[in-house]
């Protein structure tokens, strides 16, 4: 069985190569080019392809993959909002994902963003490098005793709730499908927005959740709220967020994902002039901390991603139950 890995970096290949001896019947081929309409034809001669969150798996690409004889798409990530699932079914292509690789990795990064943006450690580091030891502009707020609102209580949301609990925060949660086995206090989204001092987003991007953070929802938040997003950029309407930041609505904002990221995520764009200025506008605010979709980026998470992805491939190859197949 031959699998073509699109959009791979050295660190991707390293963790998959370590597992090669355990999968002698699966051949890996890694390419740096990502999956787009122009590169889909490279899949000719392969049984399946492996892609990441920034790949184009829309209708046109899936049709070309079907034409090339592809029967399997392995998503080395949890999210699949970039995949046209209905078209994949029409093309008789199975789509498998990694539903849980290391929820703690993402949750810990979310809290790192909260602390960085709130206490301005990114600004303080730069000031100290320039021998500026003034504390002007660096004041934050305590998290202890405050209320954390967790939007989405899957594995990552639950991990974030545990971290916030460790900081001595009161936890409120919102989810369309509450985890009844947890001891979380579930409230309506309106209630969570109104009383939370920290709001952390941990839900998938769907038509229902697209731009769930907008002018209306921001207006219902407390003044001085902290907002962090490590899920999907489309959960937040960026223009509305920027307006809220300018109106001093937020104490701090931490973003590992944002709407503009898809074209250059994981790429070194330092020598280029970007076509739009959204990221630069966000970076201009002293209470905003941005990272480049790195919440998953730990040794443990990458190991789990490689293991589960290859287990998915082996299950497909041997006709076993595809427990990680995306159904809708």
- Residues carrying an active site annotation: 232, 261, 293
The DSSP bridge pattern shows strands 94-96 and 72-75 to be parallel
Alpha helices in 120-196 (DSSP H): 121-129, 155-166, 189-195
- Cα gap 235→44, rounded to integer Å: 35
- Cα gap 171→185, rounded to integer Å: 7
> How many Å is the Cα radius of gyration of the chain?
21
Number of residues assigned to the chain = 328
- Cα gap 181→21, rounded to integer Å: 39
* Residue 276, CB-side half-sphere exposure with 13 Å CA sphere: 12
H/E element, 289: strand 288-290
Cα separations in angstroms, 81 against 118, 162, 166, 209, 277: 30, 27, 32, 12, 24
Per-residue b or e along 213-242, where b marks 16 or more CB atoms closer than 10 Å to that residue's CB: bbeebbeebbeebbbbbbbbbbbbbbebbb
- Cα gap 117→236, rounded to integer Å: 17
Per-residue b or e along 36-57, where b marks 16 or more CB atoms closer than 10 Å to that residue's CB: beebbebbeebbbbbbbbbbbb
Question: Looking up tokens 């293991």, which residue turns up?
Answer: 307
């Amino acid at each position: 069985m031959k699998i073509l890995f699109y959009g791979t970096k050295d660190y991707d290949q390293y963790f998959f190569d370590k597992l090669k001896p355990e999968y002698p019947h699966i051949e890996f081929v890694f390419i740096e080019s990502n999956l787009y309409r122009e590169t889909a034809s490279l899949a000719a001669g392969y049984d399946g392809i492996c892609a990441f969150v920034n790949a184009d798996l829309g209708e046109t690409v899936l049709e070309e993959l079907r034409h090339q004889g592809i029967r399997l798409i392995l998503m080395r990530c949890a999210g699949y909002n970039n995949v046209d699932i209905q078209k994949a079914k029409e093309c008789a292509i199975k789509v498998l994902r990694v539903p849980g690789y290391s929820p703690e990795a993402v949750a810990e990064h979310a809290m790192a963003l909260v602390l960085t943006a709130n206490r301005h450690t990114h600004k303080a580091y730069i000031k100290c490098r320039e021998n500026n030891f003034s504390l002007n502009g660096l004041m934050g707020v305590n998290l202890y005793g405050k209320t954390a609102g967790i939007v989405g209580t899957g594995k990552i949301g639950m991990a974030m709730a545990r971290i916030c609990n460790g900081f001595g925060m009161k936890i409120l949660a919102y989810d369309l499908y509450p985890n009844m086995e947890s001891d979380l206090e579930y409230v309506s989204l309106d209630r969570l927005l109104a009383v939370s001092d920290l709001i952390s987003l941990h839900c998938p991007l769907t038509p229902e959740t697209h731009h769930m953070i907008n002018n209306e929802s921001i207006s219902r938040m407390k003044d001085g709220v902290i907002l962090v997003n490590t899920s999907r950029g489309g959960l937040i309407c960026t223009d509305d967020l920027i307006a809220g930041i300018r109106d001093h609505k937020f104490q701090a904002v931490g973003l590992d994902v944002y709407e503009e990221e898809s074209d250059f995520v994981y790429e070194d764009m330092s020598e280029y002039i970007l076509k739009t200025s959204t990221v630069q506008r966000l970076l201009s605010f002293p209470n905003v901390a941005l990272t480049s979709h790195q919440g998953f980026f730990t040794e443990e998470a990458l190991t789990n991603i490689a293991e589960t992805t290859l287990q998915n491939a082996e299950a497909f190859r041997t006709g076993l139950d595809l427990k990680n197949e995306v159904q809708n």
